[in-house]
Amino acid sequence: MMGKNPLWITAEEGALIIDEIVNGRKDTIVATSQTKKYADVQVLFIDRCTRCHTVNRVLKQNKTREEWQETILRMRDNAPELFLDEDIPILTEYLTERGKMMRDDVAAQIMVEKCLVCHEVGRILLERKSRKGWEDCVVDMRVLARQKFQKDWFSSDEFNLIVDLLVKTQGS
């Protein structure tokens, strides 16, 4: 597992895990099942969903609980070995609750990388616009960047994330 992704398990954590496997824990009498916490669900999400999809592709989706469940069930049909029955409600809940927050995080990261390169934060934070106003503004920036850099500065998906975040935080 450490070789799969070194960020999941540090060298120190790996040494502790190996020690427990080899030597056993003397203070453990009985193992009990526990409700999974978000850190566990995040690992489950990464392990199951990112085998076939990028994290950004999944996180950019704006789905209801029912739509997420339908998607997960469809993915289980494609790869039944990856999704246990007990995983379905856990992943559904995780994607429903955390998806919007993560989309906002992705949008904020894009804004830092793409918008704040040229603009002062204060300039953006002082402006209030309608959705149409922000769409027009971001289209203008996209055209300007294309002319200046001779390439697309951000994709259509990034455009939508930026506009959604601006409307949410700076809407009129």
- In this prediction, residue 131 carries a pLDDT of 93
User: Taking a C-beta distance cutoff of 8 angstroms, is the pair 114, 159 a contact?
Assistant: no
Tell me how far apart the alpha carbons of residues 94 and 65 are, in angstroms, rounded to a whole number. Answer: 10
3-class SS letters over 77-89: HHCCCCCCCCHHH
Location of structure tokens 């934070």:
125
pLDDT per residue over 3-26, tens digit each?
A: 766 667 778 887 877 777 777 655
Per-residue pLDDT at 122 exceeds 70: yes
Name which residue leads in pLDDT, 55 or 85. Answer: 85
Amino acid of residue 7: L
Entry field: residues in the chain: 172
* Average pLDDT score, the chain: 80
The contacts of residue 6 (CB under 8 Å, 6+ apart) are: none
The contacts of residue 56 (CB under 8 Å, 6+ apart) are: 106, 157
Tell me how far apart the alpha carbons of residues 55 and 162 are, in angstroms, rounded to a whole number. Answer: 17
Per-residue pLDDT at 32 exceeds 50: no
The number of helix segments (H) and strand segments (E) in the chain equals 8, 0
Q: How far is CA 164 from CA 11, 26, 27, 114, 161, in A?
A: 40, 53, 51, 15, 5
Nearest-Å Rg of the Cα atoms of the chain is 21
Domain ranges of the chain: 1-32, 35-101, 116-172
Confidence of residue 67 (pLDDT cuts 50, 70, 90): very high
